[in-house]
Structure formats: structure tokens, C-alpha cells
Structure 1
Amino acid sequence: MTTLIPKRLVFIVAGALEQPTGGYRYDARIIAGLQAAGWQIDTRMLDGHFPCPDETAHAALDTALSACADDATVVIDGLACGGLPEVIERHAARLTIIVLVHHPLCDETGLDRTTAERLESSERRVLACARRVIVTSIHTRDRLQALKMTDCPARVAEPGVDTRDVQGTRVRPRECAGGPWRLLCVATLIPRKGHDVLLDALAQMTDLDWHCDLVGSLDRDPAHARDIEQTIFRKNLADRITLHGALDAAQLEACYAAADVFVLASHYEGYGMVVTEAIAAGLPVVTTTGGALADTLPAGAGCSVTPGDATAFARSLRRLMTDRAWYDSTCTAVLRARHALPGWDDATHAFAAALETPNTVGGRP
């Protein structure tokens, strides 16, 4: 009788895996999916500050890699390694290092030029050591190619959605909702997510009856979160906007169920998981064309405007709220689109295929 040797890998992330962001939720779902498929996963969560690492981060990654047996397969989230090329270079010869890139670190909104250039250079060195690169969107794959960060095209494993959400949610007829329009934005309060643009847009729409729920961690950039809170008061929107902070899964599901429209004014996304999650929940979307968002939003399921253009964002949202025929046609498109969304089983299969398909980028020949 032949005994199959389980597939094994080490999966390294920056900080706690349970953090409520798209990137961490992607990592967690992929890890869970691989485990369900028979993989043995050793998850290592690193202390320290990322992606501009402090000494704690440097030591944590070096310790995690030093503990890996020779020839071990190690998947590292790009946030955890993109700023630490010297550590990756030290271990690349004896490990099969695979880097998971959600978006290039240098594309983060709000970086000064020196920091952006340093991150671009360091991430290029890291990817040169990787035996394989996996990305979460075609846009990120193409962006890495444009930046000349990889010698070979990266493998794409796009996120999935919970199929129970697709089958269990129905688009709510607007006339049955009653009360103000419920707008929902799910995004960590960091500059890239464009909350300031969203607030500028909403301030142009105070003649309409609406309430907006902002859901997302306030801890990633506390100074920016305070600025957003102050802007809400300065624009006299405090009675129209609820700043929830991070919510658990049940609370977030309740927010999706209560909403009429999903709004996201991000300057840039490597994929934009919340957009597909909104579609799965049956919500029309108003967003931007920042990064992969231009491709993530299904045709007809909402509207995308140029990042940073609050007036265009307000105009599109106003039309959705005042033109009943357009709202109805958008809801119909959402219904069509959500049944075509891939599930997490599909995402896990794509990720496993990317792990198993030879595609040497750097590291050992």
C-alpha cells in the first residue's frame, strides 16, 4: 500500500492573520482552502513594522526563514518581505521562496518619492530571488512586468467569494427599503482608500436623503483616521455618517444586508475584493478605475470614475439614486454578474496550480 506524502509549505505573513483587510482575508482563505485540500501549512505571523521594516521585523523574518528546513517551500506575503531584500537574499539559495504580491509596495498612496523608490528597488531584489511569484489580479501581473520586477509573468490567483452569499442574498427592491438611502463603504482608513474623496462627494449630495456607513480599521494609520473623523465634522456630515471601525463577520454581513449601494473611492487597488463581495451581496457599486478596479467591477453593475474626482463620483452616485430606470438596470446587471463570480474553491485551485507549476523567476536554477 502506497502512502501519499502530504504537501507541505510554510506561509509567512506580516502581523496577525486575522486582520480585517482584503489582503489578510485572502491569505487566510487560501491557507484554509489548501489545508482542506490536504496541504500541511505552517503559518508564521511576524512581529514588527511593515513594509518599511524596523529591527523587530528584520529579526522576525530572518528567524522564521532560519527555522525552515533546507528545500522547504515558503510562501511569503509581499508585505512581509518586500522591504527586506537582504534577508531574502540570505536564504534564497536553500529555500524554495514563493512571493505573493497583492500590489507593488511602491504604488501605495501617500508615499514620498524617496520611500517609493526605495520600496521599488527592494521589492525588485526580493522578486529576483523568488522561485515563483503569485499575484491576485491580472493588473498586478502586468504592473510587475511594467516595473520590470520579474523576468517571467507572475501566476494569477484571483480572490473568490462565498458561494452561500451569492445564493442566499437577493437584491432588495428600493421601494421596499424605506427611509434614507443606505450607502456602505468597507475599507481600512488609510490614504489609498480615498475616504477624503468620498466625503467630498457626499458633501455635494446633502439635498438627498442618505446615510453612509464607513466600516474599516482605524488603527492602521491613526493620524489619517483622525483626519477623516475631523473632516466628517467639518463638512457637517456627522449626523449622516457612522464611522464603525472594524466589525466582525456577523456585523459586516448585517451592514451589507441593510445597504442599497456600495461606494469605494480608492485611488488604487491590486484587486478590490470588497467590490466582488458587494456584488455577491447584490449591491450596485460606485467606485473608481484605480488600479485593478477598472477590471474588477463587472460591466453594468455600477459605475467607475477617475480616482480623486469627487465631483464625478458624486454625479454617478446621484444618478444611481435619482434615476430609477438606471438603478433597476444596474441591479439586474448585479444579479447576472454575481452568479458568475468565482468561489474560494476556485481561488484555492488556482493558487495550488500556481504553486505546482514550474515557473522559475529567480533564486536557484
Structure 2
Amino acid sequence: MRLVLAVPGDLAAPTGGYAYARQLLAHLPAQGVAATHLALPGTFPDPGPDDLARTADALAQVPADTALLVDGLAYGALPPAVIRAASRPVTALVHHPLGYETGLPPERAAALAASERAALALAQRVIASSCFTARLLAAEFGVPRDRITVAEPGTPPAARVEPRPGPHVRLLAVGTVTPRKGYPVLVRALADLTDLDWSLTVAGSLDRAPACAATLRDLIAATGLADRVTLAGAVTPEALEQLYAEADLAVSASLFEGYGMALTEALARGLPLVATTGGAAAETVPPGAGRAVPPGDAAALATSLRDLIADAGRRATAAAASWEAGQRLPDWPATAAAVADALRTR
């Protein structure tokens, strides 16, 4: 089977969605699917007329005997005419709906939701990266449940990070600095914990939303945490592995997740977690592996962080549960197998 995976922007970008696409391209051949990458304009989900014309032309040139899988960052913003111009069944890959991105003006969020609803109505199949997203697409976007396949991201096996007694506790937050990731909530929570011995490293691009990153830097300075919080920016896989190995506690203040790959990466290493219940994160992090708090609630986040920072025994108990859960996570070959099965379903 031949497949073209159409993805907008830079395929090497260090985000979960792009990592998912890269892993599909690497692992689908073992499932009997010869997959190639088609680069779409990087302006999605806000393409101009010229970008839409280029996209329509690129999709129409995909050979007739080749399946077409379009990443949701572009698919939900495609007008029906562009999808129909492909002249073939199209499968959409959805990590989370475009209109659910935090910080959008209400009218823009509504327009994206309407666009995505119309686009998904034309998809032969929809691949969702979590059960939560699948339910959301069925309930809010009208996608028939029997047209949705769930293919959770894979999590490669990793070396266990053994719990350390402290007293210094190193916190790690992984994810691009955007409004949806809730980093200001995390900083406000940590500002209430200056009596404890901790430091935080944020590993994630600072270039995706420069205004958000600038605001975060200002907040860190205003709360007096500049000597405790490091914004590392985008890091290499090797550097990220080292950060995981040095961490004592993983934390996520995300307001919404379509899955939460950084959370499962922490579980795979046996790191205790403090994470919000925003979106699919409530289901990604199992009970006992740490603490779950409502998204946007700095006080609740501070309380949960205090519980684990101040108590090495609680961290060790949570770490054991995290490691156990991490050993049950799917790997990338399983993800690719689920996608391949979906592509063969008519």
C-alpha cells in the first residue's frame, strides 16, 4: 500500500504532533505501507489564498493509487472545495480540534470549529490520537464513531529514573511555550513555594508564540523566580534525555491536551507527575502516579506540588506507580499498526 502523509510546516519541529508524523513515516513501512511525506505550507491553520491554491494543487497531484492522510493542523482548515479537488478518499489525522487552542479570539475559535466540522464531514476516516479526542469529535463535530480509529502515540522504552531523597527537587516541564500549555499558572503556583528547595527547567520552543514567551519571562522576573526557573528552549533529543534523567518530578500545567506525549515520556521513566486534567491528560496520567489538578487552578497546583516536593516518601510511592503504568504504554509499531489498519478500512 502507498501512502502520502501531508503535513504543514517543518516536519523536524520539536512538538508532539510533528513527532507523531515522523514516527509514522518511520514505522509504517514495517506494516506494509510505503509512506512518503508531502510538505504543505507552514501557514496552517491560517493559510492565505495562495497557500490554499498550492495545497489544492499538491493534493491533486498525489497518484491515484496512493492513499492520502492529512495532518489535522492543515485538514481542519481546508475548505471543502480543496478536499474534493484531491479526487480521492482522504483520511484526517486529528490530535486536537483547532478551535480548542487556548488564546484564540472567540470568533476565530468558532470559525475554526465550523471549518473543521465541514472538513471532517468529507473525511473517509478519521484517526484520533486519544480516546478523549475520538469522543470529542463524535460529540462536538458530528463524526460517526465507526469512522474514527484511535491510534495513541507510541512511547519508546526508557531507563528508569530512580527516586532521590532530595532535599533539592528538580522539576521538569516539557512542551512548547504557548498559551495552551499554562506556564503562567505554573509560575504563579511555584511563587507560593519559595520556602521549599526546588528548581524548574522548561524544555520547549520559545519561538512558536514569542509574545507568550516574553510574557512568561516577565512573570518569572516579577515573581522573583529567575534564579530558580530555567527556560531551556527547544532542546536536542539527547539533551532532553539528560533532563529526564536528572529530574525528580515532572509537571504539566496544560489547559488542554489531545493526548500528552510528555506525560507518557515521564511515565516511561518512572517519574512522579503533577499534571492538570485538561482534555485527554485526565486519562493519560493514571491514579497513583502523582497528583491531578484542575486546569488553570494555581492554588490547587501549588498544593499538589508542595505535597510531593516536601515529601520524598510520597515521591517514591508515586514514582513506583508511574513506572508500573509506563511499562504498559503502547510503542510506535503499535501506533503504526493501528493507522495501517485504519487506512485499509473502507
TM-score normalized by structure 1?
0.91
Which residue number corresponds to residue 4 of structure 1? Answer: none
Query: What's the C-alpha RMSD, in Å, of the aligned pairs?
Result: 1.5
Give 1:71 shift: 5.0
Moved over 3 A (4+): 86-90
How far residue 90 of structure 1 moved from its aligned partner, in angstroms, is: 3.2
List runs of 5+ in structure 1 lacking aligned partners.
1-6, 359-365
CA contact (8 A) 2:161 2:245 kept: no
Partner of 2:12: 18
For 2:118, the aligned partner's letter is R
Tell me the alpha carbon deviations over residues 259-299 of structure 1, each in whole angstroms, 9 at most, x when there is no partner: 00000000000000110001112211101010000000022
**Range with greater deviation from structure 2 (326-335 or 286-295):** 326-335
**Structure 1 position 56, deviation (Å):** 4.3
Matches of 2:134 and 2:250, distance apart in 1 = 27
Contact 1:218 1:245 in 2 (8 A): yes
Query: Shift of the alpha carbon at 1:106?
Result: 1.2
1:353 aligns with one of 337, 341, 345: 341
Distance of 2:279 and 2:323 partners within structure 1: 25
**1:69 equivalenced with 2:57 (yes/no):** no
The AA in structure 2 aligned to 1:334 is S
Distance 2:12 2:177 in 1: 17
How far does the alpha carbon of each residue in 1:180-207 deviate from its partner, in whole angstroms, 9 at most, with x for none?
Answer: 2110000101100000101111111111
Give the counterpart of 2:306 among 318, 323, 326: 318
Shift of 1:172: 1.8
Match of 2:44 among 46, 50, 54: 50
Q: Which residue of 2 aligns with 1:134?
A: 127
1:156–1:354: 8 Å Cα contact kept in structure 2?
Answer: no
Between the two proteins, the alignment pairs up a number of residues equal to: 345
Please state how far the C-alpha of 1:89 moved relative to its aligned partner: 3.6
- Aligned mates of 1:109, 1:344 — CA distance in 2: 28
Report deviation, 1:321.
1.4
Q: CA deviation at 1:37?
A: 3.2
For structure 2, which runs of at least 5 residues remain unmatched after alignment?
none
347-356 or 320-329, which deviates more? 320-329
Please give the alpha-carbon distance, in whole angstroms, between the structure 2 residues aligned to 1:258 and 1:151: 45
User: 81-90 or 341-350: which moved more?
Assistant: 81-90
Give the secondary-structure state (helix, strand or coil) at the position aligned to 1:161: coil
Distance 2:181 2:136 in 1: 19
Q: Please, which moves more after superposition, 290-299 or 56-65?
A: 56-65
Q: In the alignment, which residue of structure 1 is the partner of 2:230? A: 242
Cα distance in 2 for partners of 1:126, 1:150 equals 10
SS of aligned partner of 2:121 = helix
Q: Are 1:116 and 2:106 an aligned pair?
A: no
**Distance in 2 between residues matched to 1:236 and 1:138, nearest whole Å:** 40
Q: What is residue 331 of structure 1 aligned with on the other side?
A: 319
Deviations 1:326-363 (A, max 9, x none): 222111111211111111111111111121223xxxxx
Does residue 107 (structure 1) correspond to residue 100 (structure 2)? The answer is: yes
What percentage of aligned pairs have identical amino acids? 46
